[in-house]
């Protein structure tokens, strides 16, 4: 039982430090820090443990190298989340721009391509 509590506390600290490093601390609370720390330790276990031959906090190893590997995994996890969030917004903007471009390029009734005919049929059934 005490090992579980130490695991949660270590996960919270690792998630908090990772959020400070990645400057996402203002958007996360305690629960998100715990989740980032523990899931980051899993990521560190898969990606960094084979490189450094060190276990993580998920294997009940609370040494300094294990905490650093878990922190590295948490930072990698936050980098992936930041990248995913930026890519999603980029894709949304790109799709809206393509819809606007298609609308204005097919708006004139003179364009008789099959694509524009299909677009007009979708918009005005």
Domain ranges for the chain:
2-123
**Sequence-separated (6 or more) residues with CB below 8 Å from residue 36:** 14, 15, 18, 19, 28, 74, 77, 78
Sign of torsion over alpha carbons 73, 75, 80, 84: positive
DSSP category for residue 108: S
Task: State the pTM of this model.
Answer: 0.68
Do 20 and 73 contact (CB within 8 A), yes or no?
A: no
Tell me the C-alpha distance between 10 and 37, whole Å: 8
Do 13 and 34 contact (CB within 8 A), yes or no?
A: no
Which of 80, 1, 83, 85 lies closest to 42 in space, CA to CA?
A: 80
**Sequence-separated (6 or more) residues with CB below 8 Å from residue 111:** 105
Per-residue pLDDT tens over the stretch 39-96: 888 888 888 888 888 888 778 778 888 888 889 999 998 888 888 877 877 787 788 8
Do 13 and 54 contact (CB within 8 A), yes or no?
A: no
> What share of the chain in percent tops pLDDT 90?
8
Which is higher by pLDDT, 4 or 78?
Answer: 78
């Amino acid at each position: 039982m005490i090992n579980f509590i130490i695991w949660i506390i270590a996960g919270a600290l690792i998630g908090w430090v990772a959020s400070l490093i990645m400057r996402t601390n203002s958007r996360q609370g305690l629960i998100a820090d715990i989740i980032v720390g523990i899931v980051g330790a899993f990521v560190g276990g898969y990606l960094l443990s084979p490189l450094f031959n060190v276990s993580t906090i998920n294997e009940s190893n609370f040494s300094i190298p294990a905490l650093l590997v878990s922190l590295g995994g948490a930072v990698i996890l936050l980098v992936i989340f930041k990248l995913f969030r930026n890519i999603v917004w980029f894709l949304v903007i790109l799709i809206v721009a393509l819809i606007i471009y298609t609308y204005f390029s097919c708006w004139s009734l003179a364009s008789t391509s099959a694509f524009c005919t299909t677009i007009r049929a979708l918009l005005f059934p």
